[in-house]
Amino acid sequence: MATLSDIRALLGEPRFNWSDPAPWTALEQELGVEFPADFHEIVDAYGSISINGQLYLKHPASHLLHDLGTMIKQDLEFWREEDMAEFLPSRAGTGPGELLPVATATTGEMVFLRVPDEPSSPWRVLVQEMDSPSWTLYEMTFGEWLLAYLKGRDVTLCARDRAPDGPSYEFLP
């Protein structure tokens, strides 16, 4: 399983390093779901960032423009619309088997976490391509998926053309 140290080795030292659980607790209570530990740990370390000028991660304690909770609620509403729901393999939401939107990309992809059917089952990553009606489910955790992306592997998003000198990140304005 990918760890924060594996991510740090490729992406660089995190500079956000959030430690107050209050924003996560409030968001998890509001949504009725507990985020997977690896996603929580990575976002707490790095905050609201752009990776390779392509992939956007957001933190629940960030200001409104880059707030994870606001993004999730807006995206859930969008993906539950009748004409958009058909582009996903299951319903967007926070219940077992549903898809929770957690990241976006400038290249037209939406990254979802698939809520496990059973509490003991692992979370998985699904990437939906907005420019086509296709999606890909990755049998890996968010940390494993992000590590594959940072290594330039094909996980629907491609980093090689965006990070010729290696992965990098910057805080969202």
Joined together, the tokens standing for residue 63 give 């200001």
pLDDT at residue 151 above 70?
yes
Q: Which strand (E) or helix (H) includes residue 11?
A: helix 4-11
Place of tokens 């290249």: 107
Domain count across the chain: 1
Residue bearing the bigger pLDDT, 157 or 97? 97
pTM of the model: 0.93
Residue 62 to residue 48: CA distance in whole angstroms:
7
Q: What CATH number is given to the structural domain containing 73? A: 3.40.1580.10
pLDDT at 108: 87
* Partners of 57 in the β-ladder: 49, 103
Alpha-carbon distance of 68 to 35, in angstroms, equals 12
- For residue 93, what are the CA distances in angstroms to 12, 23, 81, 113, 146? 32, 20, 12, 10, 22
Q: Which residues constitute the domain of residue 17?
A: 4-171
User: What is the spatial distance between Cα 2 and Cα 87, in angstroms, rounded to a whole number?
Assistant: 29
- Residue 6, both tokens: 């594996």
User: 93: closest CA among 71, 76, 73?
Assistant: 76
Which tokens is 90 given? 């299951």
> Quick check: 75 pLDDT over 90?
yes
